[in-house]
Amino acid sequence: EVQLVQSGAEVKKPGESLKISCKGSGYSFTSYWIGWVRQMPGKGLEWMGIIYPGDSDTRYSPSFQGQVTISADKSISTAYLQWSSLKASDTAMYYCATHSGWIDYWGQGTLVTVSS
């Protein structure tokens, strides 16, 4: 069974850094793209970017390029999404998901709250 298990909810202050994780199991982690989707409170889904853990090829949505960093550690089947300096507008639920073009499997989501 494919499972994506994300790290727990985070509460941070503006300007702080953050790295959230997504551990995949039940499939060949290095053979499928894995990426991130943002959902701001009460809003729709926004595709952020993806990484191919096999060779670390990474693609970003223009809206998120330079705002976040996507990475992966294939030795522990884990993908990451990180910020160097959070803003209040980064408050959202973040989902990791495997991609076959369409999005097959979703993690449970990580709620990130940024507030002073």
Partner 1 sequence: EIVMTQSPATLSVSPGERATLSCRASQSVSSNLAWYQQKPGQAPRLLIYGASTRATGIPARFSGSGSGTEFTLTISSLQSEDFAVYYCQQYNNWSWTFGQGTKVEIK
102 binds partner 1 per the rule CB under 8 A: yes
Q: In the chain, how long is the greatest CA-to-CA distance? A: 41
46 binds partner 1 per the rule CB under 8 A: yes
87 binds partner 1 per the rule CB under 8 A: no
Q: How many residues touch partner 1 (CB under 8 A)?
A: 20
Let me know how many helices (H) and strands (E) the chain has, helices first: 0, 11
Pair of tokens at residue 42: 């009460």
8 binds partner 1 per the rule CB under 8 A: no
Of the pair 38, 90, the CB lying nearest partner 1 is at 38
Go through 12-46 and write b for each residue having 16 or more CB atoms within 10 A of its CB, e for each that does not: beeeeebebbbbbeebebeebbbbbbbeeeeeeee
Residue 14, phi then psi, degrees to nearest 5? -55, 140
**Residue from 13, 19, 59, 87 in contact with partner 1 (CB under 8 A):** 59
104 binds partner 1 per the rule CB under 8 A: yes
Which residues of this protein are in contact with partner 1, per CB under 8 A? 37, 44-47, 59, 61-63, 95, 99-104, 106-109
